[in-house]
Amino acid sequence: MESISSDRIDSWKDISAYLGRDVSTVMRWEKEKKLPVHRIPGGQRQGVFAYRHELNEWMVGRSDFTDGSEPFQTNGGLAAAATAEGLQTQAKLPTPVEPSQAAKVSHWKRALYSAVGFLAALVVISAYEHVSSWFTFGTPQLLGQRQLTNNGREKRGLLTDGRTVYFGQEQNGWFALAEMPAVGGPIRVLWNPPANVLPIDVSPDGKQLLASSSLGVEIERELWVVPLDRGEPRRLSNIKAHSAAWAPDGKTIAYAAGTGVYLTSPDGIAPKEICLFASVPRALNWSSDGRGLRFVLEGFPSGKNRLWGELSGSGMSTITMHPLPAPVEWDGAWISVRRTDTAFVLEDPPNLEQTSLWLVRFGRGWWEPSIYIAPVPSLHGDLDGIAFEPELSRVLVLTKPQERATFVRYDLNLQTFRQILPGISGIYLNYSRDGEWIAYVGSQDGSLRVSRADGSGARQLTYAPDVIELPRWSPDGKQIAYMTKRPGRPWRIYVLQLESGKAREASGGDDGQGAPTWSPDGRFISYGNVECEGTHSCAIHRIDLASGKVHTLPDSDGLFTARWSPDGRFIAALHLEQHQLMLFDAKGEKWHKLADGINGNDLDWSPDSKYLFVDFPGEARIARFHTADGRQDTVLDLRSQDDFNLAETDDLQFSVAPDNAVILHRQIHSQEIFAYDEREH
């Protein structure tokens, strides 16, 4: 597999070659336009160097080039340095006519020129309006709702080829790969291994399905080819990806892994790197003619979807980037329609009560807009997935689970369940150290709330558009730390004073911060990064609350989900890719492995710090590990608790009460597929 051996470029000559410009132009850019070039002490002309990723970010962010140069095409092959619409070179203006020359032009010539210019303008405007009318898209309407499923099971990942609908459906604690007729009918399970399997694409001949497989919450997932004639599924080599698409000729599969885009054959042999980015490419989709591969560049530079791009030409070597229209610059879920010029965006703006749906169409010629966005009128309820069959003008949607949950307490000694806090619909419950107070998140609005342990005296502490997760009481019970998502920002940790009700951000920076947990003295907070796998930036950190400074724990690369033990001795974390449970000795500042085979993403300590409770979502169970020797005990097996419908196949969130009871939330939902006819008006 091709790769870039080093991020550093030395000398003006090599930097200029990378940018595809002459040395004098690059030196001028460094002086006038703040091109990120670093100088080696000594002041010599050749004593400079630059980093590829900094050059890429600088070039995508520029919009003021007026030197008549050609669009960017770096010799390093990095798409972050590709041409962007809005970054196109401006044409040089003709030299103005001097006043002395202008005076010599007769009045009748001026009149003639004006008349000719006016007529030409009329012709251009008329032609533009006539041609534009051919390609004006109407507002899409979804009509004639019809419910296709009614089994109450959780579903995910809609895909259709017009004849059949494919999706993942909850089955024995996992998402099994399932299918049903596109007009409705019986659901058939195609493949149900001990893993979560979701459909990605159908081969052009309709005989094979491209699917992803995961054991837990990992973003990069195994790619599999599943024969639709009940043949044996086969894995695509050792490839892991977060997005993939089958080319119209059936001979190539494109996939995105980390910040790169790659091509491979359907057997996964000899994958080829096409380009790398400064951020994560998602929603890969081939154009209908197979000549272009489109994608959305996500998280650049501030957590928003900023650009969409296209790879084309021989070997997909030509890279074109375009800014997204303003309505969809937020971080929505892009869902591509198989090998067409159409896509959909599902968005949950914090200030709206239900999902926004946008129809996206890409231009196919110079006379069309490069990208066209149209809002689709709201449907009944929130959406969790969508699929489209252009030939039939038929849209399939998957409703979101109803956002309602009740808390359930499991007593380890009595091995019994009991519902607690009746009337409260919430998630992420956390007890104060003395057990007298609780903090939780309202399941319907994502707000932070507190009450006494019996549910009395409830108060709401945060409001929209803030979305809160994983609140944690300080050891003295006077503060609550939590992670919050605000529009246009990554997840950040805030600390709220209970007495004043005022909240402040715990530290500076712009990294995505996950669940906070306190040191026993209340001076520090530990956390792991979130939304970090694609950029390989996961690590465990410690915040000094007095100064706001952040210290990264040594050798914590690739770790996430940090939990500080109540006695302060250890910080526990999970390794996302290797599925390991790790312990960090706070005094010796060294990590050691406590257990393998961990596929969940939630941890909690027993009050005495002797046990670590860990979730296994795919197995629908919670176990505890003895920190002294790593011995494992299953404390709760939810596969025998169907009455409570507690097992979430991708997120078995829980907490441990001061008396060692396990607190879970019981989901109340029904998730079904509906069909609509799509029309444009």
Q: pLDDT tens digit string along 181-233?
A: 998 889 999 999 988 999 999 999 999 999 999 887 678 999 999 999 888 99
pLDDT of residue 9: 82
pLDDT at residue number 644: 46
- Given a cut of 60, whether residue 483 has pLDDT beyond it is yes
What mean pLDDT comes out for the span 484-498? Answer: 93
pLDDT confidence of residue 433: 93
Instruction: Name the band, by pLDDT with cuts 50, 70 and 90, for residue 72.
Output: very low
| Cβ partners under 8 Å of residue 469, min gap 6 | 428, 441, 446, 482, 483, 484, 485, 491, 515
pLDDT tops 80 at residue 269: yes
pLDDT above 70 as % of the chain: 77
Average pLDDT, the chain: 79
Specify the pLDDT at position 222: 94
User: How far is it, in rounded angstroms, from Cα 341 to Cα 169?
Assistant: 28
Task: Give residue 320's pLDDT.
Answer: 84
Average pLDDT of the residues in 454-481: 93
Q: Which pLDDT belongs to residue 335?
A: 78
How far apart (Å, rounded) are the C-alpha atoms in residues 394 and 383?
16
The answer regarding whether domain 134-400 maps to CATH 2.130.10.10 reads yes
Residue 526 has pLDDT above 80, yes or no: yes
The residue with greater pLDDT, 129 or 657, is 657
pLDDT band at 438 (very low <50, low <70, confident <90, very high): very high
**Choice among 40-49, 263-272, 360-369, 660-669 with the minimum mean pLDDT:** 40-49
Asked whether residue 92 carries a pLDDT value surpassing 60, the answer given is no
Q: Compare 286 and 405 and report the one with higher pLDDT.
A: 286
Phi, psi (rounded to 5 degrees) for 630: 80, 5
For residue 151, the number of C-alpha atoms closer than 13 Å in the C-beta half-sphere is 14
The strand pairing partners of 388, in sequence order, are 395
**Of all helices (H) and strands (E), which one includes residue 472?**
strand 467-473
380 band by pLDDT with thresholds 50, 70 and 90: low
Give the least confident one: 236-245, 386-395, 492-501.
Answer: 386-395
Residue 143 exposed, middle or buried by CB count within 10 Å (0-12, 13-18, 19+): exposed
- The domain limits of the chain are 8-84, 134-400, 405-667
pLDDT score, position 667: 67
Instruction: Give the pLDDT confidence of 648-670 residue by residue, as tens digits.
Output: 444 578 999 999 999 988 766 56
For domain 8-84, give the fold: Multidrug-efflux Transporter Regulator; Chain: A; Domain 2 (1.10.1660)
**For residue 496, pLDDT beyond 70:** yes
CATH (one of 2.120.10.30, 1.10.1370.30, 3.50.50.100, 3.30.413.10) for 405-667: 2.120.10.30
In terms of pTM, does the model score above 0.75? no
User: For 130, phi and psi rounded to 5 degrees?
Assistant: -65, -45
408 SS3 class: strand
Count of other CB atoms within 10 angstroms of residue 277: 30
